[in-house]
Amino acid sequence: MIVLDASVLIAFLDPSDAMHGEAVSSMLDLGTHRLLVSPITHAEVLVGPARSGTLASTQAALNALGVMEVALPADAAPQLAGLRATTVLKLPDCCVILAAQQSASTVLTFDRRLAAVATTLGLGVR
């Protein structure tokens, strides 16, 4: 299972994004892995499409990819607060970490800081 960071999905979905080619290559390399996102990451990915009027088609594309949300646990708030307090990460990136921890997954990101923290916490990184 792979937890996707918003940076990867946004680049994958936008052919004009500077990281689009790398995102396509990274996604193709995943093969048949289950693709997961936190609800916050999912919302982050949908902000641009909501602004541009392409929300429905973007959601359809995510569904076609098989991207599924990892539900936040009941005690998400203290866990996220702890991650935020003890790492250099912003709260949305902490959500990626928590989703990966909850699902025992590897993280796919283009964010070096997120990748470094994930590695430090014993998570796989692609």
Taken in order of first residue, the domains within the chain and their CATH numbers are 2-120 (3.40.50.1010)
Report the pLDDT averaged over residues 101-124: 97
DSSP 20-48: HHHHHHHHHHTTT--EEE-HHHHHHHHHH
pLDDT digits (tens, 9 = 90+) for 113-123: 999 999 999 99
Rounded to 5, what percent of the chain is helix, strand, coil?
60, 10, 30
Residue 81 pLDDT more than 90? yes
Residue labelled with tokens 């392409």:
54
pTM value is 0.94
